[in-house]
Amino acid sequence: MSAPSIRMTKARKVSIAGIATAGAAAITLSLVPAGATPAEAAPVNTKAAASAANVAVSAEAVQAAVLSTGLDAQKSNLDTQVQAAVEKAVQTKADTKSAAETAVKKAAAEAAAKKAAAANAAKKRAAQAQAATRAAAAPAAAPAAAPKAYANNLDGWIREALDIMDKHDIPGTYNGLHRNIIRESSGNPRAINNWDINAQNGIPSKGLLQVIQPTFNAYHVKGTPFDLYHPVANIVAAANYAADRYGSIDNVFGAY
């Protein structure tokens, strides 16, 4: 910003000059005695001219003072404007610096968040890849074995009974079971004895190995039907009773 030029306007100059001239004339008139001749007035006019010159000098001084006052006022106003401009520039610089620092911090935070997200994604992919590798390397699971089938006849009943006895640690063999079944019921799961002492007591022997109900109830094996006439349940309960009393169904060769 260029400093404004301080100039006296023409009107001000004329006004000041007029004031000076008027002052000089007034002084001159006041020094001429009333009724004086031109000759008498001449010396006085000389003095008046000198006074007028002094007044003119005073007028120039006034003009200079006025000019100086105007310059001081404009200088003060300019100083105020410059100070305001400097303060504004300083504040703008501070605001710009603060905004820049905030932007840098925000960018750093965003970069850190992206880096963390990328690291987590990489870990997840790595874990998935490892899981896939382990799954590919693991041997294929063997298909579940189909339930063992047993024939619905005396041979199938004995074999199923032997598998159940093995799970429950009940001793006995195929031959021991088969021999006693043939003697007791001839292989008829619905066989019933209505003439022996048990029948007379109201608890006849029933089934493949001719078991009475109280004995079946006491030696029934979990996992088999609770049915005295069921061929497998009858065999397993009888073998369990024989193991408890004789050590094994293989040791039974007669009524038991």
Domain boundaries, the chain: 10-108, 154-251
Categorize the per-residue pLDDT at 47 as very low, low, confident or very high, splitting at 50, 70 and 90.
Answer: low
Q: Are 45 and 33 in contact (CB under 8 A)?
A: no
Q: Average of pLDDT values for 53-75?
A: 60
- Per this entry, what is the length of the chain? 256
Q: Alpha helices of 168-196 — where are they, by DSSP H? A: 174-185
Identity of the highest mean pLDDT range in 21-30, 89-98, 150-159: 150-159
Q: Which of 88, 87, 71, 80 is nearest to 4 (CA)?
A: 71
Q: How confident is the model at residue 127 (pLDDT cuts 50, 70, 90)?
A: confident
Q: Give the integer Cα–Cα distance in Å for 108 and 121.
A: 20
Q: Please list, in sequence order, all residues whose beta carbon lies within 8 angstroms of the beta carbon of residue 204, skipping any fewer than 6 positions away.
A: 192, 193, 194, 196, 198, 212
**Average pLDDT of the segment spanning 76-90:** 79
Residue 105's pLDDT is 86
Identify whether the C-beta of residue 206 lies closer than 8 Å to the C-beta of residue 229. Answer: yes
Return the pLDDT at 251: 97
Share of the chain above pLDDT 90, in %: 42
Q: Which whole number is the average pLDDT over 219-238?
A: 97
* Cβ atoms 76, 83 nearer than 8 A: no
Provide the pLDDT confidence category of residue 16 given band limits of 50, 70 and 90. very low
Structure pTM? Answer: 0.47
pLDDT band at 207 (very low <50, low <70, confident <90, very high): very high
The one-letter code for the residue type at 36 is A
- Alpha-carbon span 222 to 143, nearest angstrom: 27
Supply 100's token pair.
């820049």
